[in-house]
Amino acid sequence: MTDNDPWAGLKIPETNDEFFLRYSLDNNPFELYRGLDTLGRRMFFLIHDTKNLTTNKFPKMNGLIINQTIRNDNKGMLSVTLDNQNYIEVFTIFCEDIIDTISKEVTEIAAVQTFIGRAMKWHAFLRRANTQKLSYEAQLGLIGELYTLNENVSNITTLANAIHSWKGPEKTPKDFEFSNLCIECKSRGASSKDTVRISSEYQLAEVENAELVLMVHTFGLADETQKINKIDLHSIVSKINNRIASECPDISDLFEEKILESGYNKEHDYEVIVTHQSTEVFLVKEEFPRIIPGTYSSELSQISYDLLLSSIDNFKISYSEFVNKISGEN
């Protein structure tokens, strides 16, 4: 780790009753500390009044040990210990996240519950964490889904409704699901073939009691000298988070959970930087060219194929028609 490591220089205690701690949160009423245990493992603490002890039962966490004890001075101590050294950098981010989140609380009981809540969410992230950066294709695909959420769906309905309807991170067949309408998003480069990749026979399968549209975004590579309208994963996630803060702050945790589930990591450098060029919307109905379940040999599975966009031009609908279909959900 670098000289900026918050745990750098801390000694390993000789006994469990001895702690070498570093205060973590200046100008705040809550006692948050960084420290080491007798095995040299990184720890993060919240010291609190015993009247605010939680009754939560803590699961065995992937890479993290969360514990609650009562100290000799009759103070409660809520701690998280890093048990997997492969997660050192993630653990540092996790602690900064807790510091930032708890700094917004007013009461100690709220700080305790927030500490636990954030620990649980990071546990869920570590449980599914993939240290590999998203591929070029995955970055472009996620940009397309987030663009649909932020620039299309949320401007027709509400941002909160758009985030609730976003199912892409859950690996469901459709990227957005409303009661009467589903949206499958595809992203393509402006200089690529006139096709989109359909990665499953279920992506364009009919949905009972709901219409299905295929939304195709075309993106061009951003010029290095371009100052505005450039899109990468960090910029579009930040843009959505800023909107959440002002429009629907109670949905912040849900969006964070979904964006982590999608494979996004704010510590990664993403090379896909694009500009949006166009959006086309196609209504998927009976005559639409596609492969759907039950129409092929049972010996075949996990089918994917390229769909020629010029072959579905007759199924194109205007953007105003698309708006009307979502507006009917409100």
H-helix or E-strand spanning residue 294: none
Does the pLDDT value for residue 117 go beyond 90? Answer: no
Q: What are the C-alpha distances in Å from 127 to residues 62, 64, 199, 234?
A: 6, 10, 25, 23
> Picking from 19-28, 289-298, 305-314, which range would have the lowest pLDDT averaged per residue?
19-28
The one-letter amino acid code at 244 reads I
Q: What are the C-alpha distances in Å from 34 to residues 31, 88, 108?
A: 10, 13, 18
Whole-number pLDDT of residue 124: 66
SS (H, E, C) 200-234: CCCCCCCECCEEEEEEEEEEEECCCCCCCCCECHH
Given the structure tokens 């959006």, which residue do they identify? 279
Does the pLDDT value for residue 285 go beyond 50? Answer: yes
- For residue 101, what pLDDT band results from cuts at 50, 70 and 90? confident
Whole-number pLDDT of residue 96: 86
Cα 25 to the center of its chain, rounded Å: 26
User: Taking the C-alpha atoms of 86, 89, 90 and 93 in order, what is their torsion angle to the nearest 10 degrees?
Assistant: 160
Mean pLDDT over residues 131-155, rounded?
93
Instruction: Give the Cα separation of 106 and 88 in Å (integer).
Output: 30
Does the pLDDT value for residue 26 go beyond 70? Answer: no
- C-beta of residue 31 within 8 angstroms of C-beta of residue 105: no
* Strand partners of residue 48: 76
Closest Cα to residue 258, out of 142, 96, 117? Answer: 142
Does the pLDDT value for residue 330 go beyond 50? Answer: no
Tens of pLDDT, residue by residue over 214-265, are 999 999 998 766 777 899 999 999 999 999 999 999 998 889 888 887 888 8
Instruction: Give the Cα separation of 297 and 307 in Å (integer).
Output: 20
Strands of the chain, DSSP E: 21-23, 31-36, 42-49, 64-70, 75-82, 176-177, 181-189, 195-198, 211-221, 274-284, 305-308, 316-317
Whole-number pLDDT of residue 307: 96
Tokens of 312: 């579905």
- For residue 37, what pLDDT band results from cuts at 50, 70 and 90? confident
**Residue 269's CB: how many other CB atoms inside 10 A?**
8
Does the pLDDT value for residue 57 go beyond 50? Answer: yes
Whole-number pLDDT of residue 20: 61
Tens of pLDDT, residue by residue over 151-176, are 999 999 999 999 999 999 877 889 99
Q: What are the C-alpha distances in Å from 318 to residues 98, 163, 218, 314?
A: 45, 24, 16, 12
Given the structure tokens 């708890």, which residue do they identify? 102
Side-chain half-sphere CA neighbours of 87 within 13 A: 25
Mean pLDDT over residues 82-97, rounded?
82
**Residue 76's CB: how many other CB atoms inside 10 A?**
19
Cα 70 to the center of its chain, rounded Å: 35
More reliable by pLDDT, 112 or 53: 112
Does the pLDDT value for residue 1 go beyond 60? Answer: no
**Could you give the angle at the alpha carbon of 117 between the alpha carbons of 111 and 121, nearest 5°?**
145
Instruction: Give the Cα separation of 62 and 123 in Å (integer).
Output: 6
Does the pLDDT value for residue 126 go beyond 70? Answer: no
- C-beta of residue 57 within 8 angstroms of C-beta of residue 69: no
